[in-house]
């Protein structure tokens, strides 16, 4: 009878210990599940950010392509204008736009146009074109 009592006590201890282990494992499982859910939310946010950045990049590319087309059209127009008129247009443009257009012209044509500009503007554009050495 004493042996059965000892076995019962031993089994109850084992049961209690197993219950504690199960409780510990369940707690860790809940924590891991919470971490997993948080990671999923972070992934979703990052995926949304990627989609938004891809859209933004596409808009920038389209805008840049359109700007380049417009600059090429302007360069083509200036290539065919008389030099004095072309130089007046270049003189009234901001320098960055003027450089973007002049670089598309033949050096000979760009040089003639620069020759009609006021000297300080011509030198500035010449240097920005990388022709100033």
pLDDT digits (tens, 9 = 90+) for 40-90: 999 999 999 999 999 999 999 999 999 999 999 999 999 999 999 999 999
Q: Does an H or E element contain 128, and which?
A: helix 119-128
The predicted pLDDT at position 19 comes to 97
Q: b/e for 70-97, b at 16 or more Cβ within 10 A?
A: eeeebbeebeeeeeeebbeebeeeeeee
């Amino acid at each position: 009878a004493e042996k059965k009592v000892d076995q019962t006590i031993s089994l109850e201890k084992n049961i209690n210990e197993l219950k504690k282990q199960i409780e510990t494992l369940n707690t860790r499982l809940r924590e891991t599940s919470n971490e997993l859910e948080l990671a999923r939310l972070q992934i979703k946010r990052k995926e949304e950010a990627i989609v938004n950045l891809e859209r933004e990049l596409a808009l920038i590319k389209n805008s840049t392509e359109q700007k380049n087309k417009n600059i090429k059209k302007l360069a083509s127009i200036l290539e065919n204008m008389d030099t004095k008129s072309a130089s007046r247009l270049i003189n009234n443009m901001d320098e960055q736009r003027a450089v973007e257009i002049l670089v598309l012209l033949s050096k000979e044509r760009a040089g003639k146009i620069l020759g009609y500009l006021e000297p300080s503007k011509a030198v500035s554009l010449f240097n920005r074109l990388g022709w100033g050495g």
